[in-house]
Structure 1
Amino acid sequence: MPNPPKLRRPLVLASVMASMFMIAIEATIVSTAMPQIAGQLGDLHLYSWVFASFLLAQTATTMVFGKLADSHGRRPVMLWGIGIFLLGSLLCGFAWSIPSLIAFRLVQGVGAGAIQPVSLTVVGDLYSIEERGRIQGWLASVWGISSVAGPLVGGIIIGRTSWAWIFWMNIPIGLLAAAGFWRFLHEAVPQEGRPVDVAGALLLTLAVAGLMVATNDPGSALSIASLLGGIACAAAFLWQERRAADPVLDIRLWLRRPIATSNATVLFSGMAIIGLTTFLPMYVQAVLGRSALVAGFTLTVMVFGWPLGATIAARAFGRFGLRACLLLGAVLVPAGAVTFVLLGPGSSPWFAGAGSLVMGLGMGFLSVSAIVIVQESVGWSERGASTASNVFSRNLGSALGAAVLGGVLNIGLARHGGDVDYDDIRRLLEHGGATTTIDGTVRAALEGSLHLTFWAVLATAVITLLLALLVPQVAPRARVTAAAPAD
C-alpha cells in the first residue's frame, strides 16, 4: 500500500486551517461589530467582558483538551471542540442581552480551547520537522489574513445585515472542517482509554479563571476575591495532581528543560506583544495625532511580519537548527521594542511601523521554533499535552501582560497628580487633532505614561531573550505516524 499519510495530509491540513481561521478571525471581527452590538443590547459597563470571557474559557481549558487528545485521540477531541464552538456561535447570534452574549462567548471559548492546541498537535503528528516549519508558517498566515479580513468582513456584515451573522458565519466553515477531520483523520495507534482526571480539570479551570478575572479589573473587590479563590484552587489542583493516576498537568513534563524554558520564553513574549497591540495605536492616535487608519497600519505591518518570520524560520530549521532560529526571534523582539522607547511627539508613524515589523518578524521566528521544540521533546502520547502547554503559556502571557502593562500606564498617569483620567483620554482619541490647552495637557500626560509603558515592554522583551538563552538544542525525533490518515 502506498504511503497513506501523504495521500490525504493536505485535506487534513485544510481542515486544520479552516478550524483555526474561525478562532483567528473571531477577535477582529467581534471587535469591529461590538460598538453596534453594545448599542443595541446596552450594558456598556460589561463591554470588555465580551472579550474577556472568550479568552478566559479558552485559556482555562487548553491544558484539559491537550491532555484528552493524548488519552483519547486527536480526532474526537477536535470534533467535540468544533461542535462546542459552533454551538456557542449559534447561541451568540441569538443573544438578547450583553450578559447572555458573555455567557455564550464562554461556550465559544471552551471550543477554542480544544481547537487551537489540538490543531497544532495534529500538524506535529503528520509532518516531519523539516515540513512542519513550513506548515507552521502557513498557519501563522491564517492569523495574518484574519486580522486584515476581520474588520472588512465585520464592517460589511454590520452595514448590510444583522450582527448575528458575525457569529453564524462560523457554522458552514466549522461543518466543513469537522467533515474533513471525520473523513480523513484516522488514528492508527490504539487509544489507551486512560481515566480522565475530572477533579484536576475542574480545579485547573477554576484556578486559571480566578487569575484572569483578577487581572481583568485589578483592585476591585471582585478581583481580590477571584485572586484568593484562584490561589486556593491552584493549591488544591497541585495536591490533586500529586495523587491522580493520570494527571491533567504532569509536573514532570512541565519541568523538562526544553518545555519549561520554551514555555517561559513564549509567556514573556506574549506579554511583550500584547503591550504593542494595546498601547501603540493609542500612542499613534493620541500623542502623534494621527488617524485610526494610520494607527492600524502600524499594527498591520506586525501582522505581516509574523507569518513572514515563521516562513523564513521554517526554511532555516534544517540549516541552522531550532535553537538558532528561536534565538534570532528572541533578539528581534527587543530590537523592535527599542523603537517604541525612542518615539516622541514629533516621530513619524513609519518609524513606529518599522519597530512593529521587526517585533512581528521576531515573534514569527520565536513562536514557530518554540512550538516545534516542545513537540520534538516528547513522543506521540505526550505531544498533545506539551503543545497545549505552549499555547497555554502564550495565552496566559497575553492576559498577564494586559493587566501588568495596564497597571504601568495607571502608575504613569498617577504621577501627574490625578489630573488625567480615562474620560480625558477617550475624548482625546476621538479628537486626535485637537489643540486646546486641556487636550495639550492630556496629551503630554499620556505621552509620558505610554513612554513608561514602552519601557516596561522593552524590559519584558529583554527577559524573553534571557530566557531563550536557556533553551537547549533539541534533536528531531523519528516520525511515528500515530495519527495518519488512512488510505
Structure 2
Amino acid sequence: MPRTQAGFALVMSSPSAAPSAVGLRSERGPLLLAMMLSTGLVAIDATILSTAVPTIVDDLGGFASFPWLFSIYLLASSVTTPIYAKLADTIGRKPVMLFGIAAFLVGSLLCGVAWDMPSLIAFRFVQGIGAGAILPVSMTIVGDVYSLEERSRVQGYLASVWAISAVVGPTLGGIFAQLDAWRWIFLVNVPLCLLAAWLVVTRFRERVERTRHRLDWPGALLLTASLSLLILGVLEGGRAWAWASPISIAILGVGAALLAAFVLVERRAAEPILPPLLLTRRLLRVTALMGLAIGGGLIGLTAYVPTYLEGSIGLAPIWAGLALATLTIGWPIAASLSGRLYLRIGFRSTTIIGGVILVVGAGGLAALAGIPSPFIVGALCLLVGLGFGFTAVPSVVAAQASVDWSERGVVTGAQMFSRSIGQAIGAAVLGALANATVDAAGGDATDPATIVSASQVVFVGTAVLSVLVLVAALAMPRDRGAHAASDASSAVAGAPRATAVDPAPAADGA
C-alpha cells in the first residue's frame, strides 16, 4: 500500500469510483437522502420507545421484561455489524443495504402487531438485525461516493440526523403514547423504509467485480455467539443476577472462551470477518479505541443528564431534555466544521483539539455536579457535543481514507462496531456504578442528594472516558492535512472495483 510522508496511508478512490463532477451532484443528492433517511430510522428508533414504555407495559404487561426491548435491539445490531461490513466488501454495498432496510421494515411491521411482551422483544431483535447493516453500510457508501474534501460536510449531515432524532424521537413517542397508539411507533417506519429502499434501488448503481469468495461462516458464528454472551453478561450483570453468581461467571467465561476461539479461527481464515489489518495498523487501532470511549461517554450522558436534573432540582422532563439537546446541537456543528480543519492541519491535530474540548466539557460536568443548574449543564453539554464532533467524524474519515474500496466496508464497520460496543459496556458499567452509589446511600433513589451523588459518579466515569479519547487522539500517526490528501490522490491502491453512482439518462431529468 502506498505511504505518504504523513505517517499513514491515505488511499483515495479514483474519479470513477467516487465521482465528484458537477454533473453527478444531482445523482448523489437522492442517494444521500436515502442514507440520511435510513440512518434517521435507526436513530429515532433508538429513542422513540423510551417515552412510550409505560403505555406499552399497560397494554402488553411484562414490566419486569421491558428492559430487554432495548438490550435485545442493541445486542442484535452490535454483533451483526462486522458481518455486514465484510459482506459489503465482498458482494457489494447495495445488496447488504437493501437487506438491512428490508429486515428493519419486517421487524417494524412485526413489532406493530406484537401480542405480548415476549413477541415484541423477539421482533425488536429482528429490527436490530436490520439496524446492524444500515449504519455501517450507509457510512461506507458515503465514503465511496464523496471525496475526502466533501466527506466531512456529508458526515455532518448524517450527524445532524442523530441530533434531530434525539429531540424528535422522545417527543413523537410521547405523542403516540398520549394518543394510546404506541403501535404506530413501529408502523410509521414501513413507508419510510420503502422510500429509502426505492432511492437506493434507483439511484445507487455499483459495478462489483464478480469473484468467488469464501465467506468466513465459522468466524461469523463464533463472533456472534461470543459477543452475544459477553454483552448479555455485561448488560444484565448486577441486575438480573449478581456479578459473582454462577450464571454470570458461566456466561462471561463461555463468551471469553468463544472469543479466543474466534481469534484463532481468524488467523487461518482465507477471508476473515475481521482482517488482521484492524490490529496491525496503528491508525485503525487507536481510532477503534476512540470509538469505544466515545460510545461509552455518549451513553453515560444521554442516560443520566435528564435524570440528574429532574431528580435533583425537580426540573420538568422537557427542560431537562433541552439541556441535553445542546450536546446534539454541538456535535453536527463541529462535524461540519471538522473537514476544513483536518484538510488544513490534519486528522490528528483536529482530533486532539476535539479531545481537549471534550475533556473540558466532561470534566466540568464532573466537577460541578454538586451545583445542579440547567444552564451550566447545557453549556457544558454543548462543549461535550463539540468535542464529540471534532473527534468522531475525523477519526472515521481518517480510517476510511487509509484503505481502498475492498477494505473500506470492514474498516467503517469496525469503527461503528467499536462505538456500539462502547455504548453497551458503558451503559452497564456506569449503571452499575450509579446503582452502587444509590445502595451505599441507603437505596433511596428519590432523595435529591442521592441522585446528585450517583450522577456525579457517572460524570466522573464519563470524564475518564473523555481523557481516553484524548490519549487515543495523541496516539494517532502524524499527517499533513491537505498535503497528505493531495499526495494520496494520485496514489490509488489498485483499480476501482465499483462505481458508486452511474449517471442517470438525460431523459430522467437528473
TM-score (normalizing by structure 1): 0.92
Structure 1 unaligned spans of 5+? 429-441
Provide the rounded CA distance (Å) in 2 between the counterparts of 1:207 and 1:332.
Answer: 36
Deviations 1:67-89 (A, max 9, x none): 00000000011011111111111
Taking the TM superposition and a 5 Å limit, the aligned residue runs for 1:201-220 are 201-219=220-238, 220=241
Match of 1:195 among 214, 231, 234: 214
> Given that residues 125 and 481 in structure 1 are in contact (C-alpha distance below 8 angstroms), is that contact kept between their aligned partners in structure 2?
no
* Range with greater deviation from structure 2 (265-274 or 17-26): 265-274
> Given that residues 257 and 472 in structure 1 are in contact (C-alpha distance below 8 angstroms), is that contact kept between their aligned partners in structure 2?
yes
* Range with greater deviation from structure 2 (305-314 or 134-143): 305-314
Structure scoring higher RCO (CA < 8 A, sep ≥ 6) equals 2
2:54 is the alignment partner of 1:29: no
Match of 2:457 among 445, 452, 457: 452
Provide the rounded CA distance (Å) in 2 between the counterparts of 1:350 and 1:39.
Answer: 36
Match of 2:345 among 320, 323, 345: 320
Provide the rounded CA distance (Å) in 1 between the counterparts of 2:233 and 2:149.
Answer: 42
Match of 1:472 among 468, 471, 477: 477
Provide the rounded CA distance (Å) in 1 between the counterparts of 2:342 and 2:271.
Answer: 34
Taking the TM superposition and a 5 Å limit, the aligned residue runs for 1:33-72 are 33-72=52-91
Deviations 1:442-462 (A, max 9, x none): 332332333233222211211
Partner of 1:122: 141
Match of 1:291 among 313, 316, 319: 316
* Range with greater deviation from structure 2 (73-82 or 274-283): 274-283
Q: CA deviation at 1:238?
A: 1.2
Provide the rounded CA distance (Å) in 1 between the counterparts of 2:317 and 2:117.
Answer: 26
> Given that residues 209 and 497 in structure 2 are in contact (C-alpha distance below 8 angstroms), is that contact kept between their aligned partners in structure 1?
no
Q: CA deviation at 1:346?
A: 4.2
Partner of 1:241: 266
One-letter code of the match for 1:195? R
One-letter code of the match for 1:139? L
Deviations 1:390-412 (A, max 9, x none): 00001111111111112222332
One-letter code of the match for 2:307? M
Provide the rounded CA distance (Å) in 2 between the counterparts of 1:318 and 1:103.
Answer: 45
Deviations 1:244-267 (A, max 9, x none): 111101123333111101110121
Match of 2:365 among 340, 351, 357: 340
2:452 is the alignment partner of 1:443: no
Provide the rounded CA distance (Å) in 2 between the counterparts of 1:450 and 1:155.
Answer: 25
Deviations 1:352-379 (A, max 9, x none): 1111110011111111101101101111
Provide the rounded CA distance (Å) in 1 between the counterparts of 2:95 and 2:153.
Answer: 26
TM-score (normalizing by structure 2): 0.88
> Given that residues 200 and 247 in structure 1 are in contact (C-alpha distance below 8 angstroms), is that contact kept between their aligned partners in structure 2?
yes
Deviations 1:129-169 (A, max 9, x none): 11000000001001111111112222333333622111111
Cα distance 1:377–1:406, how it changes in 2: closer, same or farther (>3 A)?
same
Question: What is the SS of the residue equivalent to 1:249?
Answer: coil
Number of paired residues?
467
Moved over 6 A (4+): none
Cα distance 1:126–1:446, how it changes in 2: closer, same or farther (>3 A)?
same
Partner of 1:146: 165
Cα distance 1:344–1:203, how it changes in 2: closer, same or farther (>3 A)?
closer
The structure where helix makes up a greater share of residues is: 1
Structure 2 unaligned spans of 5+? 1-15, 504-510
Partner of 1:436: none
Provide the rounded CA distance (Å) in 1 between the counterparts of 2:165 and 2:497.
Answer: 31
Provide the rounded CA distance (Å) in 2 between the counterparts of 1:125 and 1:406.
Answer: 38
Question: What is the SS of the residue equivalent to 2:120?
Answer: helix
> Given that residues 137 and 314 in structure 1 are in contact (C-alpha distance below 8 angstroms), is that contact kept between their aligned partners in structure 2?
no
Partner of 2:6: none
Partner of 1:485: 501
Partner of 1:173: 192
Deviations 1:76-125 (A, max 9, x none): 11011111111111111111111111111111101110010000000000
Provide the rounded CA distance (Å) in 1 between the counterparts of 2:219 and 2:369.
Answer: 49
Question: What is the SS of the residue equivalent to 1:151?
Answer: helix
Taking the TM superposition and a 5 Å limit, the aligned residue runs for 1:337-486 are 337-416=362-441, 419-420=442-443, 424-425=444-445, 428=446, 442-474=447-479, 475-476=484-485, 477-478=488-489, 482-486=498-502
One-letter code of the match for 1:268? A
* Range with greater deviation from structure 2 (323-332 or 449-458): 449-458
Provide the rounded CA distance (Å) in 1 between the counterparts of 2:72 and 2:462.
Answer: 25
Indicate the RMSD between aligned Cα atoms, in angstroms.
Answer: 1.9
One-letter code of the match for 1:450? S
Percent identity among equivalent residues?
42
One-letter code of the match for 1:154? G
Provide the rounded CA distance (Å) in 2 between the counterparts of 1:73 and 1:353.
Answer: 43
